[in-house]
A and B are shown apart, each in its own frame.
Chain A
């Protein structure tokens, strides 16, 4: 707490230094320790407070005003923004979409990530070798990581083309026509009920590679003998995965889950680029991030946008805490 004290709090600083000197004067090494440490700690904490914490606090304050973002004057309007939020159907749509992403994106991404990672590292089967990846796993490893190298913007633009109508260069529809499945062609981005699922698909595609690499690293750190022991104990590949591999990479899965959940709460870039600032047809693909952007920069209502932001902050923190609570297990050490 005292670390964030501004320079104006010199008297407190002074007394502490005196106290420090008195108690530690026997040890010349330690005499200058506190000022020394503070010199290193204060700048980063100060920068963090200035650029990270203060915007949060300001945003909370702005959410109680009707500030347009363009003027210097604004009125404090109490909870009006939050009342409006409660009655805004579009926000409910965005929230519902975020929750869909929150439930399905981590499940889908982590399951695929775990599946691919275990295939790459421990899924192979060859006589006389206990642990290895499937044939050609080094190539798959690179291929899976590709999407992670691409910027989200590029991914969004590419998939906009994938799902576009054939006349606009729609890759998926062209493919269907080409192989004679014309019946399957659709105006993918024109159907409101598809939108969020398409976003989910693209999001999963772009993040799976990262989790493959993350889980691969975790699996590589499991001693080979443990797999050999499991093999001798009569464990099949699936049992080994469920009873040995998964428990031993559980910590990593947990971290990955939280990270992916935060990604799902965001989703701004994908939706904004693929579906536009209004969240696609009827706003059906809207997410909270896009709603904030829209209210702030399109509708010039920073007060309202801030209240959505505060809602998102609360949701994200709640979810992170809940996940950590639910998924906490005894930490496993590789003995």
Chain B
């Protein structure tokens, strides 16, 4: 059991100017399940590999517990890692794979057997212990990789996209298994994924990275409710948040015919930074159909596609009206997405006016992209 601390840790790959991980400051609490998430190339895997000791730390430090592990070799860090392709030893049986680290460490045979059996029971692998990896399915291999980590009883688990090689259905069930297993074992875990749904459902806290820079770290709900900047807002949530840059006109945010009310505190923040534009985001569920005669507010949209999911229906549309071209240009998302009642969903080609629910808009500075709290 231990905490993990990144202290201004930086990794610059040789021959490159931009750091892959830039001054990462992050603390993972003891027993916490922390998810590193971000688009590909954001430095999440590099961060994990720095912690594993597979990647050098150019400046800064990494600590496990109180121990500075920045420059100590991987084997002395007391960590176990689950790789994306599992990296099982193809020539060893499942049992030998799981017991390899213990065998090298000189653990007595009986003890190895006991711990392997324990992990195998936990992961439902007992009947496969004598098989080689090639005779296992993808899900079973994944569990063996987990087992290999568990048997070590390390201070920290590292998982590098362990579910990305599984099919969609298996991924969902394994997701919950891993999360509950981690809670049962209570071992500090750092989990890397590019899938924000995985991040939201598994993590105690989620850390969003972009271009090697930490964007925000908080509980999944806090990320969803109060994204720290435009990037986090657009990245977290599925379908994605609608984001566009609006002009401030007469104390309202205007973009063509679309208009959104803005609280005065936000208006003063915008004028304080000497700007006349404001980036506004609203989630699909924050949009409600409005009658077009509610005082000129709302966002007129032509429906391109309706996704019927049974419980929900999502409307994908594009802005209409005389200023549509400008609106499309100012939008950060591909389409305007709104969640509607599935029994009352509009048809393709319909023109619908959406209004944003009171208090559910997210405001961001158009200059810095930072959140402006109303």
Do residues A223 and B85 form an inter-chain contact, with CB atoms below 8 A?
yes
Q: Which residues on B sit within 8 Å (CB–CB) of A330?
A: 132
The one of A129, A225, A234, A250 in contact with B104, judged by C-beta atoms closer than 8 angstroms, is A234
Is the CB–CB distance between A231 and B74 below 8 Å?
yes
Q: Which residue of chain B lies nearest to A250 when distances are taken between CB atoms in the complex?
A: B91
Question: B87 contacts which of A128, A223, A333 (Cβ < 8 Å)?
Answer: A223
A160 to B148, CA, bound (A): 56
Q: At the interface, yes or no: B133 with Cβ under 8 Å from chain A?
A: yes
Interface residues of A (CB under 8 A from B): 127-130, 223, 225-226, 228-235, 239, 243-244, 247-248, 250, 330, 332-335
Could you tell me if A332 and B75 are in contact, using CB atoms closer than 8 angstroms? Answer: no
Q: Which of B53, B56, B71, B75 contacts A233 (CB 8 A)?
A: B75
Which of A226, A228, A334, A335 interacts with B141 by CB under 8 Å? A335
Q: Answer yes or no: B105 CB below 8 A from chain A CBs.
A: yes
Contact pick for A235, options B56, B71, B75, CB 8 Å: B75
Residue in chain A with minimal CB distance to B141: A335
Contact status A231-B75, CB under 8 Å: yes
B80 in the interface (beta carbon within 8 A) = yes
Contacts A/B (CB < 8 Å), 27 sampled: A128-B57, A129-B54, A225-B85, A226-B87, A228-B74, A229-B81, A229-B83, A229-B88, A229-B89, A231-B53, A231-B75, A232-B74, A232-B75, A232-B80, A233-B75, A233-B104, A233-B152, A234-B101, A234-B104, A234-B105, A235-B75, A235-B100, A248-B90, A248-B91, A250-B91, A335-B133, A335-B141
- How far does the Cβ of A170 sit from chain B's closest Cβ, in whole Å? 48
Shortest beta-carbon distance from A128 to chain B in Å: 3
CB distance from A102 to the nearest CB of B (A): 28
Complex-state Cα separation, A230 to B105, whole angstroms: 12
Chain B nearest CB: distance from A53 CB in Å?
A: 38
Shortest A253–chain B CB gap in Å is: 13
A222 CB, nearest partner CB in chain B, Å: 9
**Assuming A225-B83, A330-B132, what are 15 further A-B pairs, CB within 8 angstroms?**
A127-B71, A128-B55, A128-B56, A129-B56, A223-B87, A228-B54, A229-B88, A229-B148, A230-B100, A231-B53, A232-B80, A233-B75, A235-B100, A235-B104, A335-B88
Q: Which residue of chain A has its CB nearest to the CB of B158?
A: A232
Q: Is B134 interfacial (CB 8 A cutoff)? A: yes
B residues adjacent to A (C-beta < 8 A): 52-57, 71, 73-75, 79-81, 83-85, 87-91, 100-101, 104-105, 132-134, 141, 148, 152
Task: Specify which chain A residues have a CB less than 8 angstroms from the CB of B75 in the assembled complex.
Answer: 231-235
A234: chain B residues within 8 A (beta carbon)? 75, 101, 104-105
Residues from chain B with Cβ under 8 Å of A233 in the complex: 75, 100-101, 104, 148, 152
Q: How far apart sit A235 and B102, CA to CA, in the bound complex (Å)?
A: 10
A232 near B79 (CB under 8 angstroms)?
Answer: yes
A122 to chain B, nearest CB (A): 14
Interface core residue of A127, A232, A334 (most chain B CB under 10 Å):
A232
Q: Are A225 and B71 in contact (CB under 8 A)?
A: no
B50 to chain A: closest residue by CB: A128
Bound-complex Cα distance A127 to B85 (A): 23
CA A330 to CA B89, docked complex, whole Å:
14
The answer to whether A335 and B105 have CB atoms under 8 Å apart is: no
Q: Which residues of B contact A250 (CB under 8 A)?
A: 91
- A239–B91 contact, CB under 8 A? no
Q: Which of B54, B84, B89, B141 contacts A231 (CB 8 A)?
A: B54
Closest Cβ of chain A: how far from B98's Cβ, in Å?
10
Would you give the shortest CB distance from A129 to chain B, in whole angstroms? 8
Residues of B within 8 A of A334 (CB): 90
Query: Across the interface, do B101 and A228 meet the contact criterion of CB distance under 8 Å?
Result: no
Taking CB atoms, residues of chain A closer than 8 Å to B79 are: 232
Contacts of B100 in A (CB 8 A): 230, 233, 235, 243
Name the residue of chain B whose CB is nearest to the CB of A248.
B91
CA distance A248 to B88 in the complex (A): 12
A243 and B152 CA atoms in complex are apart in Å by 18
* Known contacts A333-B134, A335-B141; A232/B91 CB under 8 A: no
Q: Which residue of A lies closest to B101 (CB)?
A: A233
CB of A240 to closest CB in B, whole Å? 10
State how many angstroms separate the Cβ of A229 from the closest Cβ of chain B. 4
Point out the residues of chain A lying under 8 angstroms from B81, CB to CB: 228-229, 232
Closest B residue to A227 using CB positions: B87
Q: How far does the Cβ of B128 sit from chain A's closest Cβ, in whole Å?
A: 14
Kindly list chain B residues whose C-beta atoms are within 8 Å of the C-beta of A333: 90, 134
Determine whether the beta carbon of B90 is less than 8 Å from that of A335. Answer: yes
- What is the CA–CA distance of A27 and B289 in the complex, to the nearest angstrom? 64
Please determine whether A239 and B104 come into contact, CB atoms closer than 8 angstroms: yes
Top 4 closest pairs, chain A to chain B, by CB: A128-B56, A225-B87, A233-B101, A234-B75
| A233-B100, A234-B105, A335-B133 known; A226+B89 contact, CB < 8 A | yes
CA distance in complex: A232, B75 (Å): 5
